[in-house]
Amino acid sequence: MTADLAGKSILITGASRGIGAAAARFCCQAGGQVILHASAPSDAASEVAHSIGQSDDVFLYEDLAREGAGAALVARALEKASSLDGVVNNAGLFTPSPLTGDIENWDRGWSKTMAVNVQAPADICRASIAHFRERKEGGIIVNIASRAGHRGDGVENAAYAASKGAVLAMTKTWARGLAAENILLYAIAPGWVETRMAPKDIEDRKQAVKEIPLGRVAQPEEVASMIGFLLSGASPSATGATFDINGASYVR
């Protein structure tokens, strides 16, 4: 999938690895100027920066579990770029919320998952929308959700599934309410993608692939190409839509 992002400034969260790193590379190859986010400096972040011909300071570091971090990140991005055309809410957390065992683990799982997967992207959307309205040229937000937001997940992972369902709901809500202002929002709901979250245990891996009619998990580049296409503004009438990338393992 091709995209023309020439002249567009794009903030991508969770860009030190996986889907975010692939999106950074795709957007740069398509001519975009990227501002990247990670939770903390790392060798992985440096590798991504160098792979797109940038220094490490292309990254902004924010712990999105911290209150107010989402809004702070957008403010810092605007100091760097002066204007944003697109935002990709990719950063996310997969922490179990076990039904049995210690109540502290249950509370911690829900609290941190909601902070990183719902509150932070909501705050990023809010700050980005305010910026898009101020400059009066519109803008595009792509929120990375999950297949789990539609069909649910394992019994110990209700917090993760609920968080991704919330991402889908807020994407639809703001897409409906803001389309007249040329502020467009899309969601992408991947199934298993070849990232750190994909099953590594041999038997778990076999089971995961077994339920995918395509016969394999998706590659991060497949998601990145969809992100780039949506950021290009090539299909405004698709605003509010969710794009499933799961090898037909869940068909709505």
Longest alpha-carbon distance in the chain:
52
CB 227 within 8 A of CB 25: no
Query: What is this structure's pTM?
Result: 0.95
C-alpha to C-alpha distance for 1 and 103, rounded to whole angstroms = 46
What pLDDT was estimated at residue 162?
Answer: 98
Q: What are phi and psi of 144, to 5 degrees?
A: -90, 115
The continuous run of DSSP H or E covering 36 comes out as strand 33-38
Tokens of 95: 């922490």
Residues near 27 by beta carbon (within 8 Å), at least 6 away in sequence: 5, 10, 12, 34, 227, 228, 231
CB 97 within 8 A of CB 161: no
What pLDDT was estimated at residue 231?
Answer: 98
- All structural domains of the chain: 9-245 (3.40.50.720)
Query: Which among 61, 160, 186, 250 is annotated as catalytic?
Result: 160
C-alpha to C-alpha distance for 252 and 248, rounded to whole angstroms = 9
C-alpha to C-alpha distance for 165 and 169, rounded to whole angstroms = 6
What pLDDT was estimated at residue 209?
Answer: 86
Q: What angle do CA 173, 174, 179 make, to 5 degrees?
A: 120
What pLDDT was estimated at residue 224?
Answer: 98
What pLDDT was estimated at residue 207?
Answer: 81
C-alpha to C-alpha distance for 175 and 159, rounded to whole angstroms = 24
Residue by residue, pLDDT tens for the chain (252 residues) are 678 999 999 999 999 999 999 999 999 999 999 999 999 999 999 999 999 999 999 999 999 999 999 999 999 999 999 899 999 999 999 998 899 989 999 999 999 999 999 999 999 999 999 999 999 999 999 999 999 999 999 999 999 999 999 999 999 999 999 999 999 999 999 999 987 765 565 557 778 888 999 999 899 999 999 999 999 999 999 999 999 999 999 999
Q: What angle do CA 216, 220, 226 make, to 5 degrees?
A: 105
Tokens of 108: 């911690």
Tokens of 159: 């917090």
- From residue 100, how far is each of 109, 139, 197, 208 by CA, in Å? 12, 44, 22, 24
What pLDDT was estimated at residue 198?
Answer: 56
Query: Is 160 in the active site?
Result: yes
How many DSSP H helices and E strands does the chain contain? Answer: 9, 7
